[in-house]
Amino acid sequence: MAETPAFHGGGSAVEPSSSAARLRKIIPGREYWRGLRPSVAREYAEVFGLIGAVTWLGWFLPVSYHVFGHLYLLIVIALSVRVGRWPVFVAAVVSGVAWNYVFIPPRLSFSVLDIDDALLLGTFFVVALIGGQLTARLRAGAGRARQLEQRATALYYLTQALAAAKTVDEGAVSSLGQADDLFNARTALLLAPTEGRLVPHPASSLLLGDEELAVAETVRRSGRPAGRFTDVLPTGPVLHLPLRRGSEVVGVFSVNLGYELEQLSSAQRDLLDGFAAQIALLVERESLRAAGEREKILAESDRLHRTLLDSVSHELKTPLAVLRTAAEKLDTDDARKRASLVGEVRTATSRLDHLVANLLNQTRLESGTLRPQPDWCDARDLVASARRAVGEALARHALRLELPADLPLLRCDAALMEHVLANLLLNAAHHTPPGGAIRVHAGTDAVHGRIFLAVSDDGPGLAPELHATLFQKFSRGPRARAGGLGLGLSIVRGFMLAQGGDVAASRSVEGGACFTVRLPLADPGLVPSDEH
């Protein structure tokens, strides 16, 4: 079975759609689901009440009994529009009896009817039968039309709520809430986040026992409905419908119909199937979205993989070519040429060393094996170590240090901070024209409890469009010099976060780039005394 989107607990935290409230105003759930059956007692009460009122009033009117015969006939016709078949027939019988007993002379006794009166009495019954039949047909047609309209309305609001849902959780809360109101029953949505057993969604109002969960598992495996009003395990009160996505079943929609519902009409079953189909579409949409996200991640991973291979292969070729050429010519007797070759070897090996160190550091960050070992460090010592690590790259630039004499000690990992400062110095050297200055200044931010070190240069500065990707892997500006993998700033950020600090980029006062690293300002009183 294909992977089904996972859901999260705490479904009640998701606000249900307002369409459920609108649905309750348009479709009274109990009346719709249990059927639009008018009150039989009310219809009979209306029949006897109307005939009784006319009979009582007619007793005091000095008119011919033929008038009341036609009046009773009019009453039967009027009642055939309002009440059912059998109440109309009863109205005809009661009207005929009342007309004969009360109004045909002698009053208050039953008389033998002549041909005209007998025809009128027979008309009562014919009108009652025809009117009752027509009323039954009209009511049945109106009921079917109303059910179709309400079904379309219910599915419209469900579709609207699911379309607005951004996740399976939001969609489950909306759909199950509407189902509870419309079907006047408790419902449950069961999904399988993995290949394991079905798990009820937290938004479900129906708690399923072990037996019902076993029936739901049967539905998922067979892809056929089971439970109430089906041929499969129909003894229970719960109807289980499969959520189909093509040929696969991604979940089960369960409704507790109870035992008081004696039969399920085709319209009611269609509505249940419609709800299940819409919920299945929601699950499928979430699966497609998750699959799309995975495709994007895989595509990005593949792009980064190709970028890494291309960059590493390119970066390795140049120093290796220098080393190979120098090795072939190193046996010369010319001392000056030999010294030049040795310098080239040193430069190439330094470049290789920096490349391998960046790759190893990036691997340590991504694998989660980086474990900082904080200690008390002097900022001057860290800058001096980083300057030595950069080596000849700073030879054509002026390095200006602006470190206050009262600068507190840093609580950090010395090796990681040396890498951080070395990468920032090397980055500044790459972007600063020959003869330009690189400045390192430090200070404290008492308001935020931070100590900072900033490296600024005289380069072209940072383009605004680079700020969003500046500290990402393999990120290189359009004006970057050839060489490098674009890992330096990414490693700086990773090392600073690992130590509880951060790094930010801005424009320097001189117009170039300025990178500022910050660490929490520790209490100098914690520094061990030299006397111990």
Angle at 398 between CA 397 and CA 402, to 5 degrees: 140
C-alpha to C-alpha distance for 231 and 83, rounded to whole angstroms: 37
The mean-pLDDT minimum among 96-110, 310-324, 368-382, 431-445 falls in: 310-324
So what's the pLDDT on residue 117?
Answer: 74
The mean-pLDDT minimum among 116-125, 223-232, 479-488 falls in: 479-488
* Range 488-506 average pLDDT: 85
| More confident site: 489 or 488 | 489
* Range 45-64 average pLDDT: 86
So what's the pLDDT on residue 64?
Answer: 80
Give the other-Cβ count within 10 Å of 399's Cβ.
16
Report if pTM > 0.85.
no
Q: If we measure between CA atoms, which residue out of 480, 476, 470, 475 comes closest to residue 515?
A: 470
* Range 78-105 average pLDDT: 80
Give the best-scoring range by mean pLDDT among 117-121, 152-156, 444-448.
Answer: 444-448
C-alpha Rg value of the chain to the nearest Å: 44
pLDDT at 58 over 70: yes
So what's the pLDDT on residue 516?
Answer: 92
How many Å from the N-terminal Cα to the C-terminal Cα in the chain?
Answer: 68
* Range 235-255 average pLDDT: 87
| More confident site: 34 or 171 | 171
Within 8 A by CB and 6+ apart from 141, the residues are none
So what's the pLDDT on residue 5?
Answer: 52
Does residue 202 have a cis bond before it (omega within 30 degrees)? no
Q: Cβ(440)–Cβ(402) under 8 Å?
A: yes
The mean-pLDDT minimum among 215-224, 341-350, 391-400 falls in: 341-350
C-alpha to C-alpha distance for 343 and 340, rounded to whole angstroms: 5
Q: Cβ(471)–Cβ(494) under 8 Å?
A: no
DSSP per residue over 281-313, as a string? HHHHHHHHHHHHHHHHHHHHHHHHHHHHHHHHH
Q: Cβ(470)–Cβ(343) under 8 Å?
A: no
The secondary structure element, H or E, covering residue 493 is: helix 488-498
The mean-pLDDT minimum among 3-7, 8-12, 49-53, 164-168 falls in: 8-12
C-alpha to C-alpha distance for 456 and 452, rounded to whole angstroms: 13
So what's the pLDDT on residue 11?
Answer: 38
* Range 196-225 average pLDDT: 88
Lookup: tokens for 299: 């595509």
> Three-class SS string for 213-241?
HHHHHHHHHHCCCEECCCCCCCCCCEEEE
Q: Which residues pair with 398 in a beta bridge?
A: 437
For residue range 259-270, list pLDDT tens digits in order.
Answer: 877 777 777 788
* Range 278-299 average pLDDT: 76
pLDDT at 412 over 60: yes
The mean-pLDDT minimum among 256-260, 279-283, 315-319 falls in: 315-319
What SS3 class is residue 453? Answer: strand
Q: Cβ(5)–Cβ(287) under 8 Å?
A: yes
* Range 320-335 average pLDDT: 72
pLDDT at 407 over 50: yes
* Range 279-300 average pLDDT: 75
So what's the pLDDT on residue 225?
Answer: 92
Side chain identity at residue 109, one-letter code: S
So what's the pLDDT on residue 254?
Answer: 92
Give the best-scoring range by mean pLDDT among 43-47, 180-184, 464-468.
Answer: 43-47
| Placement of tokens 């011919």 in the chain | 64
Q: Cβ(472)–Cβ(418) under 8 Å?
A: no
C-alpha to C-alpha distance for 48 and 472, rounded to whole angstroms: 87
Side chain identity at residue 217, one-letter code: E
So what's the pLDDT on residue 526?
Answer: 52
Sheet strands side by side (includes 226-227): 199-200, 187-191, 248-256, 238-245, 226-227
pLDDT at 337 over 90: no
pLDDT at 28 over 50: no
The mean-pLDDT minimum among 228-237, 307-316, 425-434, 492-501 falls in: 307-316
Number of residues in the chain: 532
pLDDT at 100 over 90: no
So what's the pLDDT on residue 6?
Answer: 47
What SS3 class is residue 408? Answer: coil
The mean-pLDDT minimum among 43-52, 152-161, 376-385, 387-396 falls in: 152-161
Give me the chain's average pLDDT, please.
Answer: 76
So what's the pLDDT on residue 519?
Answer: 92
* Range 263-283 average pLDDT: 81
DSSP per residue over 156-193, as a string? HHHHHHHHH-SSHHHHHHHHHHHHHHHHTS-EEEEE-S
DSSP-derived pairing of the beta strands 437-445 and 450-456: antiparallel
| More confident site: 532 or 178 | 178
> Three-class SS string for 358-389?
HHHHHHHHHHCCCCCCCEEECHHHHHHHHHHH
Q: If we measure between CA atoms, which residue out of 399, 384, 502 comes closest to residue 445?
A: 502
